[in-house]
Amino acid sequence: MTDSNLRPEDIDKLGQALLTLTSELWIAKDRVRMLEAALVNAGVLGADAVSLLQPDTALLTELAAERARLIDTVLASLAPADD
Amino acid sequence: MDYALRQRGRAAIDFLSDLRSRSDYLEQRTDQRAFDAGLDKAALPDDPAQLQTIVAPLLEADPEFRILRMCRDWTLEQHGQIAMEAFDEIRTDIEPALHALNSGPATLRYASDLEAPAYWDGFEFHKSAGGWEGHDFMGFVHGELIHRRMVNPNFAGMIYALRKSVAESIPVRNPARILEVGCCSGQYTQGVAEVFPDSEIWACDLSARQLEQAQRYANEHGLGWKLFQAAGEDLGVDDSIFDVVTSYAMFHELPISASSANLREYLRVLKPGGYAVIGDVKAYHAYAPYERWKADYWNQMHGGDPFWREYAATNLAQLALEAGFAAAEWHGMGERQYPFVLIARKGAAHD
């Protein structure tokens, strides 16, 4: 039995997953920052409004679907369907 | 009580919970690949240690299995920290309400001279950072943020129903007084109280922080639970005062020597004819060997549950009879045989 999850031959897949994750993360960070700036500039939101916002059921459902897509994308890089 | 997480804590908890469930497909896929490669389920031995030496190397040679294990390791090692950080974001919002719930009909008696058993003291069960006591609101962190928001979704939302189903299997009509041992933050206690609303409910645990959360829940719902800090092996209460002693998901956290000591202590505090009803994870004999390997691998070997195998491979009915119960049966509930329930009866005076 081995104690290590990743072995040298897994490193390329790890790199793929890391880049996929970084790309998704940046898209999300960029979007959030742009949205917050636009809304604060328009006087719609205070600086803490996003942090304090509680999502309703529809938004929770949308977030769950997006989150699933993100996780599936990363997992697909680590374990491709036709590997 | 109502509370709302901040965006960061909520999103981190949602991500962890979804990573756990959405990586499960790798388990089915690597199972199938092992069978395709010639793993013969029918030829596997019964013994869990032997199963580890035969099956684990085959699966661990599969890179996708190692990815699966990496995902599960990450969720185990991060969940406690993520939950504590999520709490700390809202601490100032909810701390007054949590303090207010210290008052009400439920009582909590701390042990002044508690000698914590070695299997419990400082151990982080399930690799949960902080263990049961590592945060001043660890009861809320564990009961609300970890169990309700992280664990429950991975049991298809059934975790509370499973607990309640054990309470419903208690074969005593209108028990006057019930003791729950190892009540933690009071989640099974809730099920017991729902099934037996007219009974006097006592509940104990080693963890002061978890008992405090149980007290808050009871006070919020107007329940006069009598909570006290004690080990199941040394309850510190009078003989023959309970109609039922019950627990849920505690015995698999104990070495068998402590399970035996618990059962002997339950016998002491039960009235003649009273019942011990112990719900816990599935016994190994109820699994086919390959499924038994999986339960052993993910819990005993990698789940932060060092006594899982000892519990699951022991005949609990026999253990209860050896402890002095007059009759005992141990069986799985429902089609999935989950959870397993020990029902043991103390002899009546005329037995």
Q: Do B6 and A5 touch (CB under 8 A)?
A: no
The DSSP bridge partners found for residue B200 are B177
Of the candidates B157, B220, B168, the one whose C-alpha atom is nearest the C-alpha of residue B191 is: B168
Q: Which residues of A touch B23 (CB under 8 A)?
A: 71, 75
Quick one: pLDDT at residue A24? 80
Neighbours of B74 (CB within 10 A): 15
Task: Say yes or no: B59 contacts chain A, CB-CB below 8 A.
Answer: no
Query: Does residue A2 carry a pLDDT above 70?
Result: no
Exposed (0-12), middle (13-18) or buried (19+): which is B267, by Cβ within 10 Å?
buried
Mean predicted confidence (pLDDT) in B222-244:
98
Distance, first Cα to last Cα, chain B: 47
Quick one: pLDDT at residue A22? 78
How many Å apart are CA B151 and CA B145, to the nearest integer? 9
| Dihedral pair phi/psi, residue B32, rounded to 5° | -60, -40
Instruction: Count CB pairs under 8 A between chains A and B.
Output: 61
Mean predicted confidence (pLDDT) in B322-351:
93
| Dihedral pair phi/psi, residue B276, rounded to 5° | -100, 130
Quick one: pLDDT at residue B5? 93
Query: Does residue B350 carry a pLDDT above 60?
Result: no
Of the candidates B75, B267, B250, B256, the one whose C-alpha atom is nearest the C-alpha of residue B154 is: B75
pLDDT tens track for B60-113? 999 999 999 989 998 998 899 999 999 999 999 999 999 999 999 999 999 998
Of the candidates B143, B204, B148, the one whose C-alpha atom is nearest the C-alpha of residue B179 is: B204
Quick one: pLDDT at residue B263? 98
Q: Tell me which of A57, A78, A82, A83 to substitute to probe the interface with B (most B C-beta atoms closer than 10 Å).
A: A78
Q: Which residues of B touch A64 (CB under 8 A)?
A: 14, 18
Q: Residue B31: CB partners within 8 Å, gap ≥ 6?
A: B290
pTM of the model: 0.89
What is the percentage of chain B residues whose pLDDT exceeds 90? Answer: 82
How many Å apart are CA B5 and CA B7, to the nearest integer? 6
Interface predicted TM-score (ipTM) of this complex, two decimals: 0.72
How many Å apart are CA B77 and CA B128, to the nearest integer? 7
Task: Say yes or no: B70 contacts chain A, CB-CB below 8 A.
Answer: yes
Mean predicted confidence (pLDDT) in B271-297:
98
Helices (H), A1-83: 11-41, 49-52, 57-78
Q: Which residues of A touch B16 (CB under 8 A)?
A: none
Query: Does residue A81 carry a pLDDT above 70?
Result: no
Considering CB atoms only, which of A4, A63, A78 is closest to B67?
A: A78
- Find where tokens 């939302």 sit: B157
Query: Does residue B206 carry a pLDDT above 90?
Result: yes
Query: Does residue A15 carry a pLDDT above 70?
Result: yes
How many Å apart are CA B119 and CA B262, to the nearest integer? 14
Query: Does residue B22 carry a pLDDT above 80?
Result: yes
Neighbours of B71 (CB within 10 A): 22
Please, are residues B309 and B296 in contact by the beta-carbon 8 Å criterion? Answer: yes
What is the percentage of chain A residues whose pLDDT exceeds 90? Answer: 24
| Dihedral pair phi/psi, residue B282, rounded to 5° | -70, 135
* β-sheet with B107-109: strand ranges across: B107-109, B226-229, B200-205, B177-181, B242-248, B270-280, B340-345, B327-332
Task: Say yes or no: B7 contacts chain A, CB-CB below 8 A.
Answer: yes
Q: Is B245 helix (H, G, I), strand (E, B) or coil?
A: strand
| Dihedral pair phi/psi, residue A38, rounded to 5° | -65, -45
Pick from A76-80, B49-53, B119-123: least confident: A76-80
Query: Does residue B185 carry a pLDDT above 60?
Result: yes
Quick one: pLDDT at residue A83? 47
The beta-carbon contacts of B113-121 under 8 Å, at least 24 apart in sequence, are B114/B206, B114/B229, B114/B230, B114/B231, B115/B231, B116/B206, B116/B231, B117/B206, B117/B231, B117/B233, B117/B258, B119/B253, B119/B254, B119/B255, B119/B258, B119/B306, B119/B307, B120/B206, B120/B231, B120/B253
pLDDT tens track for A20-48? 787 788 888 888 888 888 999 999 999 88
Query: Does residue B252 carry a pLDDT above 90?
Result: yes
Mean predicted confidence (pLDDT) in B325-331:
98
Determine if the peptide bond prior to B339 is cis (ω within 30°).
Answer: yes
Q: Do B66 and A10 touch (CB under 8 A)?
A: yes
In B, minimum Cα distance to A11 occurs at B63
Q: Residue B260: CB partners within 8 Å, gap ≥ 6?
A: B319, B322, B323
Neighbours of B82 (CB within 10 A): 21
The DSSP bridge partners found for residue B344 are B276, B328
Q: Please, what is the average pLDDT of chain A? A: 84
Instruction: Record the tokens describing residue B305, joined without a space.
Output: 């549950």
